[in-house]
Amino acid sequence: MNQLQAINDFVVKFANVNGSGSASANTLFARAIIRMGVPATPRNIFPSNIQGLPTWYEVRVSTAGHMGARGGTDLMVAMNPQTWDADLKSIVPGGYLFYDNTKPLQPGKFRGDITVLGVPLTEICNARYSDARQRQLFKNVIYVGALSALLDIDPIVVEQLLSEQFHAKEKLIAPNLDAFHLGRNWALKNLSCPIGLRIHRADAVGDRVLIDGNSAAGLGAVYGGATVCAWYPITPSTSVAEAFTRYCGRYRVDRDTRKKRVAIVQAEDELASIGMVIGAAWNGSRAFTATSGPGISLMQEFLGLAYFAEIPAVIFDVQRAGPSTGMPTRTQQCDLLSAAYASHGDTKHVLLFPEDAHECFEMGAQAFDLADRLQTPVFVMLDLDIGMNDRLVAPFRWDDAKRMDRGKVMTGADLDAGREFGRYLDVDGDGIPYRTYPGTHPTRGSFFTRGTSRDEYARYTEDGPAYRRNMERLLKKWETAKRYVPAPVRRDAASPTRLGVIYYGSTSAAMDEAAEQLAARGVALDLLRVRALPFSAEVMDFIARHDTVFVVEQNRDAQLRMLLINEGDIDPRKLRRVLHYDGSPITAHFITGAIVEAAEELKIVPMRQPMPAAE
């Protein structure tokens, strides 16, 4: 049997039981690799219950910096008998199986093409600890110790991390260090260490920081000037509001009085939360909510009100697998259509598509400027893979000279100077009217906010031409938005090609890696990462310049493709679907396989004949 041999380029997967306390130890393992200067990307795969069901934690180690899911497992740490058979099957030939061999298993429970690494974890724990909870918790630290020996991880690094982790509870440092060395020393004495998979010190991490997208979005909301957050708990978005609350404890406190300068409300449901956001924004605050697909469904009517009454609002949508309850703890990009056209009637909403935690921070802040400038709801479209998993990203930057863009706000001085005020009057020809804040002037600048039709001066009317003028002005504002939203990112192939790829959001990591694989196979592709809706002219020009454009996304119905066709009047035959929607993150292997197959098909299929003219 050929054992896998790899340095700083492999996948380790932990199979645990939810609620067993393994999360802390698994995170310690990933951070130790990163602390050694080697890029690692952890992913937490967990059930939608509190305790008892299987959970997995995958760590992809890649000196090249590939952060997308790879597929397959090189070293399986099998700590859950419930999932043994599936976990065993996922190991690649030549890989390794680490397990607790306190109770020996029958030979038929293994595979002949992998290396089995048995460590009597339960026996070690029972000999050292008498308390049942200690046995459970320290077992996890013990297997990290054993893995450090097997993978040649520097023990000093792990010791430092444990000291940092428990610096506020110093009495826990010594027992955790003891458990770590119990596992490490046993492995060094009883197993052949290191194995073929090894961690060697490198300098490939640089100044990058490890953070999840939801935390980054919460911090972005702070820097974006948010002072109101109304939300209702829902997986996987809850930690956006929790992060915002945590950061506000540091950055939204008056220096003199120490009073909090923020309102954070856990509402009774999603409908109430978006209502509070709209009310606060109408009153001049910067306000947001965080939710997922089911919450967007509930918010539809209020979102229509905010669009039609032209009230700023920011919605962080951390997408999960739907429809209905779907798979609450699995990732997808399946809310695009429901967010883009939220509410009944003709609506169009601004969507931002961050690719990682760095852009979650940037777009999280930018969304508030856009909402104020355009006087409309703005969605920041994360997903579970971005939102709830840690990523190495470039450090966040902020220009302290930057000032908030509150958009077109008419002041009391403007009104005193005799400026004409019509709440829905297009003065500048860009579709964006001026607004006033409540209390701006004692006698001027007031208006009635309504969800019914009205004229340019906010006066109720059911006059058809007035309604049409308003709706066409909203379309003009939509065109204006194209100048303000983040531009797409284009990367052309080394040689001219008529094939292109459009992708967005968390698909980015896998797509970047797939582009390398495809280039190695001789498939040249120009890449365009879309970062916002409405689509700029650059997006439509990219499609026009290519014979075939693959649209890569993580949903069943090709929702981005639908938006491109609808918004750009694109011939559907030019846009080829590459769809992944089983709830797991898309991989470069999947993308490469789908595009290679389609590219080969394109070479042998004759060119389409022109459609016959209608009789």
* pLDDT tens digits, one per residue of 233-290: 999 999 999 999 999 999 999 989 999 999 999 999 999 999 999 999 999 999 999 9
DSSP readout, 134-152? HHHHHHHHHHHHHHHHHTT
pLDDT at residue 50, as a whole number = 63
* CA dihedral of 213, 217, 223, 228, whole degrees rounded to 10: -160
pLDDT at residue 604, as a whole number = 38
470-493 tens-digit pLDDT? 999 999 999 999 999 999 999 999
List, in sequence order, every residue forming a beta bridge with 91; answer none if it has no partner.
73
Q: Are residues 161 and 31 in contact, defined by beta-carbon separation less than 8 angstroms?
A: yes
The model's pTM: 0.94
175-229 tens-digit pLDDT? 999 999 999 999 999 999 999 999 999 999 999 999 999 999 999 999 999 999 9
**pLDDT of 44 strictly over 50:** yes
551-585 tens-digit pLDDT? 999 999 999 999 999 999 999 999 999 999 999 99
Closest CA relative to residue 410, chosen from 398, 395, 420:
420
Q: Report which residue type is found at 379.
A: F
Q: How far is the C-alpha of 203 from the C-alpha of 509, rounded, in Å?
A: 21
Question: Which residue stretches of 521-576 are H helix?
Answer: 537-544, 559-568
Write out the two tokens for 369: 């400027």
Cα separation values, 466 from 90, 374, 456, Å: 63, 21, 8
Residue with tokens 């006033």: 436
Burial of 464 (0-12, 13-18, 19+ CB in 10 A): exposed
Mean pLDDT throughout 499-504?
98
- CA-derived radius of gyration, the chain: 27
Q: How far is the C-alpha of 291 from the C-alpha of 241, rounded, in Å?
A: 9
Q: Report which residue type is found at 418.
A: G
Q: Quickly name the fold that domain 489-604 has.
A: Rossmann fold (3.40.50)
pLDDT confidence tier of residue 600, bands split at 50, 70 and 90: confident
Architecture per CATH, domain 6-198, reads as 3-Layer(aba) Sandwich (3.40)
In our burial notation (b when 16+ CB lie closer than 10 A, e otherwise), range 309-326 reads bbbbbbbbbbbbbbeeeb
Write out the two tokens for 323: 């429809």
pLDDT confidence tier of residue 96, bands split at 50, 70 and 90: very high
Q: Are residues 380 and 364 in contact, defined by beta-carbon separation less than 8 angstroms?
A: yes
**pLDDT of 613 strictly over 90:** no
Out of 3.30.420.270, 3.30.1330.40, 3.40.50.620, 3.40.50.970, select the CATH number for domain 211-393: 3.40.50.970
Look up residue 323 and give its DSSP letter.
S
Q: What are the structural domain ranges in the chain? A: 6-198, 211-393, 489-604
Largest CA distance in the chain: 90
**pLDDT of 607 strictly over 60:** no
Burial of 493 (0-12, 13-18, 19+ CB in 10 A): middle
The reply to whether 211-393 and 489-604 are identical in fold is yes
Mean pLDDT throughout 490-516?
97
The three-point CA angle 374-379-380 to 5° equals 120
